[in-house]
Amino acid sequence: MKGIIKIALTEFKLILKDKSFYFWAMVLPMFFIFVFSGVGDSNVKKSVKIKLSVKNLDKGVYSFELIDYLRNENILIEKNLKRKNPERELIIPEGFSKRVGDGKTAFLKFKIKGRSLDSKAVQVKISLYRAIYKFLVKKYLGITKPEKILEIKSEWAGKASYIPSGVVHQLPATILMFILFNLLIYGGTNLSILRERGMLKRFVITPQGKTGIWIGLFLTNIILAFIVSIILVFATILLFSVTFGTVPLLNMFLILIVFSFFTSSLSIYLGSVLKRQEAVVGVAVLVANLLAALGGCWWPIEIVPDFMKTIAMLLPTGWAMSAIDKILFYQYPFSTVLLHLSVLLGFTLIFAYLSIRYFKVEKV
C-alpha cells in the first residue's frame, strides 16, 4: 500500500510542478464560466411575482380587464409612464377595447430587453398567454371560469421551482470539460514522462508490480479531478454568490468522481498506447473536445436535433451531464441516476481493461 501511495504522490508532484496546470485547472475554467454563463440571472430561484411594465394607450374597459387577469397570473404590474427601456414591457395600443368590442382582430405588443430566453421573460409570456385565453373565453363565451371547458395544468419538470441559467447552468458542464482536459493531458503525459525517465522500471520491481503502478496512477487522477471540482465549485459560490443546496451538491460531487473513474482509465490507456508526449497531448485535446461537444458540455443538449441527442447518450459525457441535470436542476432523488452511474462504471471497466492490457513500463 505504501508503494501505491508513493507512486500516486510522485505523479501528483509532477503535476503540481507544471505551472500550466494552474492555468488549466483554475484560470481558464473560471474564464469559461464567467464568459459563457450569461452572468445575471443565476439566482432566479424563488417563485415570486415578476415585474411587467404595462403601457396602456387604450384606457378602455377591456384593456383594464386584461390587466386584471395578468395580476391574477402572479405578475406585478408596473405602470409605464416615465420609465425608459424596461426589462419587459406590454403595450396595449389605442383602440384595443373598441376592436375587441366590435369583434375585430386586436393586437398587443410584448417587448423584451436583451435575451429572449431570459427565464423571467419566459414566465411572463406564459402568464400573458393564460391571461389572454381567460379574457377571450369570458368575452366571447361568457364563461368566467374557463377551467370548466379546458383544464390548464402547469408544473415544474422536477422539484426545483426555477429555470436553471447563468453560472448555475454553466458550472457542471465546465467542470466535466476540464476534468476531461486535465486528466487526459496530465494523466497521459506524466505516464509518458515516468516511462521515459525509467521510473516505471524501478516501480515495477517493487512488491506492487504493474498492478500497483496502475492503481497509483489511477488514484492520482481521481485526486486531481476532485481538487479541480472543489476549486471550481467553491470559487463560483464565493465569486458569484450562487447556491446549489447541500444534498444536490454532494450528489453532484459523487457523479463527478464516478465520471473521473472513466476519464482516469482513458488517460492511462492513451499514455500506454501513444509513444510520445506530444502525441498524447494532441490526442487528449481532440478526444476531450469531441466528448465535451457531443456530450452536451458546450450547449444544452435539449436544443440539438434528435440524432445528436442519441449520439450524446452513446458517450460517457452525455450520461454524466444527464445525471447532473437530474440531480442539480430537477432535484430528483439519487436513485434516478443509478443507471447513469452504472453506465459510467461500464465505460470505466472497458478502458481499465484496455489500459491494463496495453500498459508499458519501458520506453518503446
**What pLDDT score does 265 carry?**
94
One domain, residues 57 and 27: no
One domain, residues 275 and 335: yes
Alpha-carbon distances, residue 22 vs 30, 162, 223, 336 (angstroms):
11, 34, 15, 35
Per the listing, cell 369570458 goes with 138
One domain, residues 169 and 257: yes
**What pLDDT score does 258 carry?**
95
Taking alpha carbons only, the member of 307, 341, 345, 316 closest to residue 326 is 341
**What pLDDT score does 40 carry?**
42
- Our count of domains for the chain comes to 2
Residue 215: inside a domain: yes
**What pLDDT score does 156 carry?**
59
What is the C-alpha to C-alpha distance for residues 38 and 164, in angstroms, rounded to an integer? 12
**What pLDDT score does 155 carry?**
64
**3-state secondary structure at position 192:** helix
**What pLDDT score does 89 carry?**
86
Residue 154: inside a domain: no
Residue 216: inside a domain: yes
- Give the orientation angle of helix 166-182 with respect to helix 316-324, to 10 degrees: 150
Residue 157: inside a domain: no
Residue 244: inside a domain: yes
One domain, residues 294 and 324: yes
One domain, residues 266 and 181: yes
Please state the φ and ψ torsions of residue 103, each to the nearest 5 degrees: 75, 20
Distance of CA 32 to the CA centre of its chain: 12
Residue 85: inside a domain: yes
Among the candidates 88, 117, 148, a domain finishes at 148
Angle at 231 between CA 194 and CA 190, to 5 degrees: 10
Residue 364: inside a domain: no
One domain, residues 250 and 304: yes
**What pLDDT score does 213 carry?**
78
One domain, residues 106 and 232: no
**What pLDDT score does 161 carry?**
53
Alpha-carbon distances, residue 331 vs 151, 252, 335 (angstroms):
27, 11, 11
One domain, residues 134 and 176: no
Contact 298, 173 (CB under 8 A): yes
**What pLDDT score does 310 carry?**
93
Taking alpha carbons only, the member of 185, 186, 194 closest to residue 362 is 194
What is the C-alpha to C-alpha distance for residues 333 and 319, in angstroms, rounded to an integer? 16
Among the candidates 148, 173, 206, a domain finishes at 148
One domain, residues 172 and 296: yes
One domain, residues 195 and 292: yes
Among the candidates 118, 148, 178, a domain finishes at 148
Mean pLDDT by 10 residues, the chain (364 residues): 68 75 80 66 52 86 87 78 74 89 86 68 82 80 59 62 67 88 85 74 65 83 87 83 80 93 93 85 92 88 87 94 88 91 96 87 55
CATH number for the domain harbouring residue 75: 3.40.1710.10
One domain, residues 30 and 171: yes
Distance of CA 330 to the CA centre of its chain: 12
**3-state secondary structure at position 32:** helix
Angle at 293 between CA 292 and CA 295, to 5 degrees: 65
One domain, residues 311 and 229: yes
Residue 67: inside a domain: yes
Q: Domain of 279?
A: 2-41+162-357
